[in-house]
Amino acid sequence: MTLNLDNDTLDADYHALRQRMVGEIKLDRVRFALMHGNGNTILVVDTDLSGLSESDIDGALARALCRSFTAIRVDGISFLSMTRRHVRMTYFEGDGMHSQMCGNALRCSTRYCVERNYISPAEDFIATDDGLKWVSAANDRIRVALGHGREFRRLEEDRWFVFSGLPHLVLDVGDLDAVDVRTRGAALRFDHQLCLRLNHPEGLHVDFAQRHGDRVAIRTYEPGTEDETLACGTGVGGTAYIAHRAWGMPFPIKVTTLGGDMTVEENDHGLVISGTTGYLFDAIDR
């Protein structure tokens, strides 16, 4: 897909960012790439090139970097660091809220790491706060495993719950275009009793899904962004898991998002998602 960007505004955002500080950190030292996975915009920060320590990485820094851009909404940020055995991804939503995982951030991070020769293109693992995740760029196709679907529950006739790296509530709807995702999604994401019932007081991602033969179309409300996003990787994986387990659809399953089509397979490492990735702005070597 193509995202319409005003490159002059993006350049201005970047130069303004370089003049700012967060605590003792001068932002002109931060090396990052602004990427997207099916339209889900992710800042990928190379912490080693940026000279950032583990203690530097927090919600305040994440929020300041994401909110520095006016040319486009930045949905989240992936801080990548090298450890003794694996690259590690630490993820925050655009508002600075920490999340243990993000499927599209993992896809963007995988592409970045392969192109920088940080990981093997055939297959490798990236460490996240939801555990090690299998990743691959074999045959120039970025594929990442979210882990196995967990905590599956049918809640009502038209809704299910699954943990696919993040907690997801999936609703089967008849007319996806008619859904007010922002209003209905927010009501369910902040439903305190429902969150406690599902043992996820931090809140829920909410996916509205409509079946179309052998594929599924979804729209997702995401915490942290507190709005609809063009694509949600864990939402795509979680909805495909529901489609397979509750609706009998065989893998691989095509899932259509506002940001285009994605594919969900299953292997020994769990639910595997793939789709498009791209660069919107590269400030790694500037």
What CATH number belongs to 7-146+275-282? 3.10.310.10
Residues in Cβ contact with 81 at an 8 Å cutoff, skipping those fewer than 6 apart: 47, 48, 52, 54, 87, 88, 90
pLDDT digits (tens, 9 = 90+) for 221-253: 999 999 999 999 999 999 999 999 999 999 999
Count of C-beta atoms within a 10 Å radius of residue 166: 27
What pLDDT score does 5 carry? 86
What are the backbone dihedrals phi and psi of residue 230, each rounded to the nearest 5 degrees, phi first? -70, -25
256 pLDDT band, cuts 50/70/90, is very high
Q: Tell me the DSSP string of 99-164.
A: ES--HHHHHHHHHHHHHTTSS-SS-EEEEETTEEEEEE-GGG--EEE----EEEEEEETTEEEEES
What CATH number belongs to 150-267? 3.10.310.10
One fold for 7-146+275-282 and 150-267: yes
For the chain, the structural domain boundaries read: 7-146+275-282, 150-267
Tokens standing for 107? 């896809």
First to last CA, the chain: 26
63 pLDDT band, cuts 50/70/90, is very high
Beta bridge mates, 88: 81, 127
Q: Tell me the DSSP string of 175-239.
A: -GGG--HHHHHHHHHT-HHHHHHTT-TT--EEEEEEEETTEEEEEEEETTTTEEES--HHHHHHH
pLDDT digits (tens, 9 = 90+) for 70-101: 999 999 999 999 988 999 999 999 999 999 99
pTM: 0.96
